[in-house]
Amino acid sequence: MKEWSNHTILVIDEVHEVFFEKLEGLAINYSPNITIEELPDALINATILVLRSKLILDKKWIDLAPKLQVIGRLGSGMDNIDLAYANQKGIACLNASEGNRNAVAEQTIGMMLSLLTHIVKSNSEIGQGKWLRKENQGLELKNLTVGIIGYGNVGKELASKLRVFGCDVIAYDKYLKNFGDDFVGEVTLEELQQKSDVITLHVPLNESSKNMVNQEFINSVSKPFYLLNLSRGQVVNIPDLISHLKGGKVLGAGLDVLPNENLSSHTEKERTELEFLNQNDKVILTPHTGGLTKDSFKLLAEVLANKMSAISKG
């Protein structure tokens, strides 16, 4: 790692001004509106690259940055970065998962409560001149079991917040062991599928999580349940989800992410699926805003700047 003061930082997505305050004195090329055509020239001298989701940073782009030593992502997921190739080239990869964990956990609870008490559905009905009380009778979270899949930063934060509701909280993580305590029970995936009334997903996207929630997964859940996905869209197989929404095994779904979030590029099949989800009163959709609050926008920048400063010092 070269002397910290000699680094050139290229930032290609919007970042809070606190990032520049914490890294004052460094050469920073702030180019949130940079085009694909302009990017190759900007990468030539960059030793640190900071991005969010604008670019799929694959081998081709990494090779266009011969001086690159650090990649920093203003978020938690790293699935848009070829980590294996970056590691092969000795490039350190950092994220800021601590920065938006509270935001994602809060939105998860908001969606959960909205589904259980039909808030979105009843609001829409009132707009149509319908005042339906009995039909919108809800469930209390206190009497349910919430199963968290993925016990990283967001999963832990969510479990902590769910304590105040008095519900049973269980969690499964493929990569972590011995994390259970007085507030969350560590279980196998099979146990989680047997006990959960609500299943909420907070996993990174990788080969084992892609299409994880599919026909087989849903069939293995012992009772009708609510599903929330605030991780990555490709974790849930949308046709299989739709099938079980129609069949009643999935009582409701809260989706902050979709497999293809570029709506203008949707195929006819994807458009039909989205239309069904959008018109289904058992489904709540949000445009990948789970970790996107004004507060997290600042905290992500702060966390990443601190990590970069720390790694420069070894």
Catalytically active residues are 232, 261, 288
For 156, the 3-state DSSP assignment is helix
3-state secondary structure 242-308: HHHHHHCCEEEEEECCCCCCCHHHCCHHHHHHHHHHHHCCCEEECCCCCCCCHHHHHHHHHHHHHHH
The answer to whether the beta carbons of residues 295 and 103 sit under 8 Å apart is yes
Nearest alpha carbon to residue 48 among 96, 17, 94: 94
Task: Report how far Cα 156 is from the mean position of its chain's Cα atoms.
Answer: 14
CA–CA separation, 268 vs 162, rounded Å? 39
